[in-house]
Amino acid sequence: MLEIQDFFAACVGTWKSERTYHYPLQNEVERSYTEFSVGILSSAEKQHISSAALPVESIAASEIDRFPGFSIGFDTVSEKGDRVAMNLKALFVPERSIVAPHLIPTDPLAPATPLAAEMLESHELMKGLYLRDEGYSERGAINGRFTYLASRQTLELVTYYSRSVAVDQLRLVSPTTRLRTIVTYQRPQPGEVPTVITLVGFGLEQRVD
């Protein structure tokens, strides 16, 4: 069982991923291959992301260096030959480090939590804010939510885009193997639970160095 800092340390390196994407509304299936590299954010990078997304007074500034963070570069090729390359940075702010939650910007039009992301509270469940300098399906900085369950070595990310809601789960099943699932919903009306699934993805990710 890995604590969250150990989980992030185990994810650093170069990985390859074979994924299958299902599009239920179109009744289509697509496969892709991805190579990506994961590094640790520097102190300056963590400061930059946190200050751009959150009021300084809302978090314990003395703990920023201890916030888990990734730099991620990836190159994906689909079976149709389409290619997508991207670099982004992600910072994870544990809820326990938020000292003034009322200062955290919120989306009053946000829908309810997707069914795929519902999780029972427990003493081992860590949760907080998931900050990125770039989104996947939409450009620009993105703020989401994360949970980490140590007993399952599973990190789950929920991101609310303007037109969709994405639930991304990463489970470390060995030091060199992760399982990945992605569920994307149409974004519903404010307060409603997302139910219309537009994409379901499954991936096997293996570290190669």
Collapse the DSSP code of 96 into the 3-class scheme (helix H, G, I; strand E, B; otherwise coil) and give the result: helix
Domain boundaries, the chain: 4-99+106-207
pLDDT of residue 129: 93
Residues paired with residue 145 on neighbouring β-strands, in sequence order: 129, 158
Query: DSSP E strands: which ranges in 66-186?
Result: 69-78, 83-94, 125-132, 142-149, 154-160, 164-174, 177-186
Confidence of residue 36 (pLDDT cuts 50, 70, 90): very high
Using CA atoms, how far residue 49 sits from 103, 126, 175, in Å, is 17, 20, 28
3-state secondary structure 135-162: CCCCCCCEEEEEEEEHHHCEEEEEEECC
Task: Name which CATH class applies to 4-99+106-207.
Answer: mainly beta
Nearest to 132, CA basis, from 140, 123, 124 = 140
- For residues 10 and 160, the answer to whether their CB atoms sit within 8 Å is no
Average of pLDDT values for 28-43?
A: 94
Mean of pLDDT over the chain: 89
pLDDT of residue 136: 64
Predicted structure pTM score: 0.89
Cα–Cα dist 104/107, whole Å: 10
- Which comes out higher in pLDDT, residue 119 or 127? 127
Using CA atoms, how far residue 97 sits from 43, 45, 72, 125, 129, in Å, is 16, 18, 24, 15, 10
